[in-house]
């Protein structure tokens, strides 16, 4: 019974299939009369190609080419002539091979047809093969899609030829490239022209085709793609953008590129090439924000007009920074001083209130309050703990009283906090600090010296008080006074390259008679002063110090500061550090690997170099079984993790990929690696409190390993630095309650709370500025001077060297947009602030911001936000609205009448 029942459905299925097949056959030739006529016509032309008469063949080819060129296509379909000719592709190729050489014109026309037909087939470089055999006519008659296919095949052929023989001729390819590039540049396809020229290593051909219409899109693409190119292509791309901007007279754009190249000659040339005084002042504001010292007295950037030179010097030296910052604070109504309790908000903490925390370690609690007070009131010139208000005797006694509420090194940090509270206000801050220089307590004197350095950070006063006040104390017998004076000098002259500082501190670096602590701080100070210069005598001094110190001294955290100083000297200088890296490999086993990794990471900071990241990742993945007491064997892994973040922080895509790598390291890495991951995450997202990142660090802040948890707490502080982020503030309050019995963890929670509320939410310590296009070397050096010591947290920030936190003064900058009129007076202008949109290589004129709100300047700019003016009455002199922007009156502006 089973067989018949099985057979029946099978028969039905066959019938269905047969019916379906017939339907498909009927569907196939569903062509309109026009299409049928076209198909018949093309088939006949293909047949005529076999005619022995060359004239008939020529006529057939001309008709075929005319049909192809006159055809239109939609986005989703192939043009009809190409669709019908596809069936004859092999026949056309065979006819081409059989066609006599004498018919050269016909052969070339047939090759053109086969080449365009090959775009509909997935074949190996057939489009290019027949294009080279085709007629030398203009390519643009075949349209954009054909040229796009051809560009891809040229790039592939170029690579294949060069891999087979590096000296192989590519002249035939270059002849096509020289036709394609002008087409792309005149048809809004500038990115495709750049890509093609990069592939065929002929970027210099681009410059001739750039004009005032297409230079903007071209340079935007060049500067954006440089992060994804290997060296030396990345620098070549930026140099080309620099030449184009200068040729077009776009000085601000050119200066941004010159600063990215870190080339003093280019910066001076761009600055000197700008003749307009107002535009020159805007350039000066950019140099001041970047921390780039420029000599206006002599050299190529010298300015002859005395009045202009004086006003430019005032701008570049950041003399008005404090004034602008306080104007922003007044506008936002946050001038009133805050106390640490305003930040802690202990009344909001539920459950285990940390009331007993002060009893556990009151000196530690006071020290934490000192830092929180300094961070939250940074730059405001007044607070409720250490400054004297209104010359009142009672308050004076109170301020001294607070400093003496701290123990030993705590007094040093408490006195130094005066520098942070009066940040950038040299004339207002020094009189308040000066009296502590005459204290009988050495810790207080040391703190006062450091305070002088902090208050002068990133500001060059014309009277130059810092060196005069501090220099005599560098040779003091007391080690704390020496370190305070040395670090003070480093911060006061960060990024200026002052010769006197080098002469004063270099002998201390190499002198083996002085404590390694003093030597390390002297090196760190020199690293800050000569950041990114690669200055040879300083490099040799630090290497000599690392060679001459004993293994016991090299095992201390101070040796790592020496390595960090070496890295800071080569920050972002790429291959310039190679010779020094080779020397570092010959150092003692205790420090050589750490030195090499730190130097390499710093040299490629912000470049996104994939090969370096792979090398560091391999180091992080090693499972080293270190013997007891031989921690130096794994110490380089912590530096490698920070190096990952340092190299990948250049652009968002690299940052995301680095974030995923760090997640893997958390799961599979050894303890040394895991402990550094939170710090790396903090570095990647400084001042950008992303929710997912915040959750990761929050999870790590409860980690079983105390060091990982401590570093996660510091990472949270960096994540939200200067943002006043409410969610993060709530997390930290919870952590304060959770760690109320652990002094070190509680101290770090308090520090992070201070960082999150830094400058009452008006400051940022993110080294990236000007639409994330530039990385300030001085700011990055300041951030690294805190993060690297955190690899040995208990011995440095958690021990007696908590004053290293004041290195953040070199990175602190207002995150504002302040508009000034041509005379330099504040100018309230309506502006739109919204989330920045990436418009690189997008067609037309896309909007650069989304989800905006309209405000009146001055305004705050958060991470990932961008601003644009909401009025045509004023024209900004900077294409990027960030920091201080000068505005000129628009001569074409016509005010609308209210009645209309």
Q: What is the DSSP string of 567-618?
A: HHHTTT-GGGGHHHHHHHHTS-TTTHHHHHHHHHHHHTTTS--HHHHHHHHH
Q: Mean pLDDT check: name the lowest of 192-196, 360-364, 787-791.
A: 360-364
Three-state DSSP class for residue 818: strand
Whether the predicted pLDDT of 157 surpasses 50:
yes
Main-chain phi, psi angles of 700, to 5 degrees: -70, -25
Q: Give residue 793's pLDDT.
A: 85
Stretch 270-275: mean pLDDT, rounded? 88
- pLDDT band for position 191 (50/70/90)? confident
Name every residue whose Cβ is closer than 8 Å to that of residue 544 and which is 6 or more positions away in sequence: 509, 510
Q: Give residue 548's pLDDT.
A: 87
With b for 16 or more beta-carbon neighbours within 10 A and e for fewer, the 204-218 pattern comes to ebbeebbeeebbbbb
Q: Give residue 811's pLDDT.
A: 92
Domain range annotation of the chain: 88-298, 340-351+367-377+686-813, 605-622+631-683, 816-889
Whose tokens are 């590039």? That residue is: 181
Whether the predicted pLDDT of 25 surpasses 50:
no
- pLDDT band for position 263 (50/70/90)? confident
Name every residue whose Cβ is closer than 8 Å to that of residue 337 and which is 6 or more positions away in sequence: 377, 380, 382, 383, 384
Stretch 593-599: mean pLDDT, rounded? 91
Main-chain phi, psi angles of 742, to 5 degrees: -115, 105
Q: Give residue 23's pLDDT.
A: 45
Chain-centroid distance, C-alpha 659? 15
Token pair for residue 563?
A: 């390595």
Stretch 478-483: mean pLDDT, rounded? 88
Are 840 and 895 within 8 A, CB to CB? no
Stretch 348-355: mean pLDDT, rounded? 56
What single string gives the DSSP state of each residue in 493-547?
TTTT--HHHHHHHHHHHH-TTS-HHHHHHHHHHHHHHTTTT--HHHHHHHHHHHH
Whether the predicted pLDDT of 699 surpasses 60:
yes
Give the model confidence (pLDDT) of 516-542 as tens digits. Answer: 888 999 999 999 999 988 888 889 999
- pLDDT band for position 346 (50/70/90)? confident
Q: Give residue 401's pLDDT.
A: 58
Name every residue whose Cβ is closer than 8 Å to that of residue 758 and which is 6 or more positions away in sequence: 375, 376, 378, 721, 722, 765, 812
Q: Give residue 787's pLDDT.
A: 92
Q: Give residue 388's pLDDT.
A: 56
Q: What is the largest CA-CA distance in the chain?
A: 115
Pairing state of beta strands 813-814 and 816-820?
unpaired
Whether the predicted pLDDT of 73 surpasses 90:
no
Q: Give residue 839's pLDDT.
A: 82
Token pair for residue 668?
A: 């599979």
Query: In whole angstroms, how far apart are CA 520 and each of 543, 596, 601, 795?
Result: 12, 17, 20, 14
Pick the residue with more confidence: 808 or 112?
A: 808
Token pair for residue 881?
A: 């609205």
Give the model confidence (pLDDT) of 533-579 as tens digits. Answer: 888 888 999 999 888 888 888 888 888 899 999 999 999 888 888 88
The Cα–Cα gap between 607 and 841 comes to 21
Helix (H), strand (E) at residue 851:
strand 849-856
Q: Give residue 896's pLDDT.
A: 66
Whether the predicted pLDDT of 752 surpasses 80:
yes
Pick the residue with more confidence: 405 or 332?
A: 332
Are 374 and 807 within 8 A, CB to CB? no
Whether the predicted pLDDT of 15 surpasses 60:
no
Give the model confidence (pLDDT) of 40-54 as tens digits. Answer: 877 777 777 777 777
DSSP code of residue 826 = B
The Cα–Cα gap between 819 and 683 comes to 30
Whether the predicted pLDDT of 96 surpasses 70:
yes
> What is the rounded radius of gyration, in angstroms, for the C-alpha atoms of the chain?
34
Pairing state of beta strands 859-860 and 849-856?
unpaired
Whose tokens are 């503030």? That residue is: 729
Pick the residue with more confidence: 115 or 488?
A: 488
Q: Mean pLDDT check: name the lowest of 274-283, 348-357, 878-887.
A: 348-357
Give the model confidence (pLDDT) of 128-144 as tens digits. Answer: 777 777 777 777 777 77
Give the model confidence (pLDDT) of 838-878 as tens digits. Answer: 888 877 788 888 888 888 888 998 888 889 888 888 889 98
Dihedral over Cα of 129, 131, 134, 136: its sign? negative
Whether the predicted pLDDT of 515 surpasses 90:
no
Give the model confidence (pLDDT) of 788-839 as tens digits. Answer: 999 888 888 888 888 899 999 999 999 989 999 888 888 899 999 988 888 8
- pLDDT band for position 782 (50/70/90)? very high
Are 434 and 465 within 8 A, CB to CB? no
Mean pLDDT rounded to a whole number for the chain: 83
Are 420 and 438 within 8 A, CB to CB? no
- pLDDT band for position 784 (50/70/90)? very high
- pLDDT band for position 692 (50/70/90)? very high
Name every residue whose Cβ is closer than 8 Å to that of residue 506 and which is 6 or more positions away in sequence: 522, 526, 537, 538, 541
Q: Give residue 626's pLDDT.
A: 61
Q: Give residue 627's pLDDT.
A: 61
Give the model confidence (pLDDT) of 308-323 as tens digits. Answer: 888 888 888 888 889 9
What single string gives the DSSP state of each residue in 750-770?
HHHHHHHTGGGGTEE--SEET
CA angle 762, 765, 767 (to 5 degrees): 130
The Cα–Cα gap between 459 and 781 comes to 16
- pLDDT band for position 399 (50/70/90)? very low
Give the model confidence (pLDDT) of 625-677 as tens digits. Answer: 766 555 667 788 889 999 999 999 888 888 888 889 989 888 888 888 899 99
Name every residue whose Cβ is closer than 8 Å to that of residue 163 and which is 6 or more positions away in sequence: none
Q: Which of 80-84, 200-204, 705-709 has the highest mean pLDDT?
A: 705-709
The Cα–Cα gap between 264 and 815 comes to 26
Stretch 77-84: mean pLDDT, rounded? 71
Token pair for residue 792?
A: 């040995």
Nearest to 734 by CA among 360, 342, 354, 375: 354
Stretch 435-462: mean pLDDT, rounded? 88
Pick the residue with more confidence: 150 or 597?
A: 597
């Amino acid at each position: 019974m089973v067989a018949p029942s099985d057979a029946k459905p099978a028969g039905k299925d066959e019938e269905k299939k047969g019916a379906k097949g017939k339907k498909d056959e009927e569907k196939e030739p569903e062509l309109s009369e026009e299409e049928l006529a076209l198909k018949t016509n093309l088939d006949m032309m293909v047949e005529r190609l076999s005619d022995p008469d060359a004239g008939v063949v020529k006529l057939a080819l001309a008709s075929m080419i005319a049909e192809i060129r006159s055809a239109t296509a939609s986005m989703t379909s192939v043009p009809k002539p190409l669709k019908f000719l596809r069936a004859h592709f092999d026949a056309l190729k065979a006819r081409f091979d059989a066609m006599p050489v004498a018919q050269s014109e016909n052969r070339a026309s047939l090759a053109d047809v086969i080449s365009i037909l090959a775009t509909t087939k997935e074949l190996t470089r057939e489009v290019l093969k027949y294009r080279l055999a085709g007629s030398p006519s203009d390519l643009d008659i075949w349209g954009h899609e054909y040229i796009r296919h051809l560009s891809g095949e040229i790039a592939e052929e170029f690579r294949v030829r060069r891999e087979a023989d590096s000296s192989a001729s590519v002249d035939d390819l270059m002849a096509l490239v020289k036709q394609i590039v002008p087409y792309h540049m005149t048809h809004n396809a500038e990115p495709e022209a750049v890509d093609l020229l990069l592939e065929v290593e002929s970027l210099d051909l681009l410059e001739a085709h750039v004009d005032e219409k297409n230079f903007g899109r071209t340079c935007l693409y060049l500067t954006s793609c440089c992060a994804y190119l290997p060296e030396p292509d990345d620098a070549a791309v930026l140099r080309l953008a620099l030449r184009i901007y200068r040729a077009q007279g776009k000085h601000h754009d050119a200066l941004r590129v010159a600063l990215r190249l870190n080339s003093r000659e280019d910066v001076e040339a761009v600055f000197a090439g700008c003749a307009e005084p107002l535009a020159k002042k805007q350039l000066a504001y950019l140099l001041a924000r970047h921390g780039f010292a420029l000599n206006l007295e002599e050299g190529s950037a010298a300015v002859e007009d005395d009045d202009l030179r004086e006003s430019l010097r005032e701008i570049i030296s950041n003399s008005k920074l404090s004034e602008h910052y306080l104007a922003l604070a007044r506008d936002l109504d946050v001038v009133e001083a805050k106390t640490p309790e305003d930040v802690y908000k202990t009344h909001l903490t539920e459950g285990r209130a940390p009331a007993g925390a002060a009893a556990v370690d009151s000196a530690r609690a006071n020290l934490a309050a000192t830092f929180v007070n300094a961070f939250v009131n940074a730059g405001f010139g007044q607070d409720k703990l250490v400054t004297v208000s209104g010359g009142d005797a009672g308050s004076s006694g109170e301020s001294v009283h607070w400093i003496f509420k701290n123990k030993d090194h705590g007094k040093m940090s408490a006195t130094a906090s005066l520098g942070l509270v009066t940040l950038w206000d040299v004339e207002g801050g020094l009189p308040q600090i000066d009296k502590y220089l005459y204290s009988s307590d050495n810790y207080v004197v040391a703190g006062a010296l450091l305070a002088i350095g902090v208050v002068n950070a990133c500001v060059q006063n014309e009277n130059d008080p810092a060196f005069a006040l501090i220099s005599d104390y560098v040779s003091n017998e007391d080690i704390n006074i020496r370190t305070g004076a040395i670090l003070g000098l480093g911060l006061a002259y960060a990024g200026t390259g002052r010769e006197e500082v080098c002469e004063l501190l270099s002998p201390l670096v190499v002198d083996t008679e002085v404590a390694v602590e003093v030597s390390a701080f002297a090196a760190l100070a020199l690293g800050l002063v000569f950041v990114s210069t690669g200055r040879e005598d300083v490099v040799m001094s630090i290497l000599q110090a690392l060679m001459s110190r004993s293994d016991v001294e090299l095992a201390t955290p101070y040796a790592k500061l020496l390595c960090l100083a070496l890295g800071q000297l080569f920050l972002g200088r790429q291959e310039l550090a190679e010779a020094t890296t080779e020397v570092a490999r010959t150092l003692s086993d205790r420090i050589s690997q750490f030195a090499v990794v730190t130097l390499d990471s710093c040299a490629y900071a912000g470049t996104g170099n994939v090969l370096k990241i792979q090398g560091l990742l391999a180091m992080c993945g090693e499972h080293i079984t270190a013997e007891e007491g031989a921690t130096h064997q794994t110490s380089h892994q912590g530096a490698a993790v920070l190096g990952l973040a340092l190299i990948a922080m250049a652009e968002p895509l690299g940052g995301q990929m680095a974030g995923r790598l760090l997640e893997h390291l958390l799961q599979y890495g050894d303890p040394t690696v895991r402990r550094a991951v939170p710090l790396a995450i903090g570095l990647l997202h400084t001042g950008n409190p992303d929710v997912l990142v915040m959750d990761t660090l929050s999870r790590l802040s409860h980690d079983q390993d105390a060091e990982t948890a401590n570093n996660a707490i510091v990472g949270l502080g960096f994540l939200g630095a200067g943002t006043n982020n409410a969610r993060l503030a709530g997390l930290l309050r919870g952590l304060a309650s959770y760690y109320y019995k652990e002094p070190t963890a509680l101290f770090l929670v308090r520090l992070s709370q201070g960082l999150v509320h830094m400058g009452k939410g008006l400051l940022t310590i993110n080294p990236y500025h000007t639409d994330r296009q530039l990385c300030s070397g001085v700011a990055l050096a300041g951030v690294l001077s805190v993060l690297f010591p955190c690899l040995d947290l208990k011995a440095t920030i958690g021990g007696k060297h908590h004053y290293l936190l004041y290195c953040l003064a070199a990175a602190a900058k207002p995150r504002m947009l302040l508009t000034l009129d041509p005379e330099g007076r504040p100018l309230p202008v309506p502006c739109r602030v919204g989330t920045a949109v990436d418009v690189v290589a997008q067609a037309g004129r896309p909007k650069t911001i989304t989800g905006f709100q309209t405000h009146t300047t001055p305004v705050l700019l958060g991470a990932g936000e961008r601003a644009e003016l909401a009025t045509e009455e004023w024209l900004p002199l900077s294409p990027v609205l960030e920091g201080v922007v000068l505005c000129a009156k628009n001569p074409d502006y016509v005010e609308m009448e209210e009645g209309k």
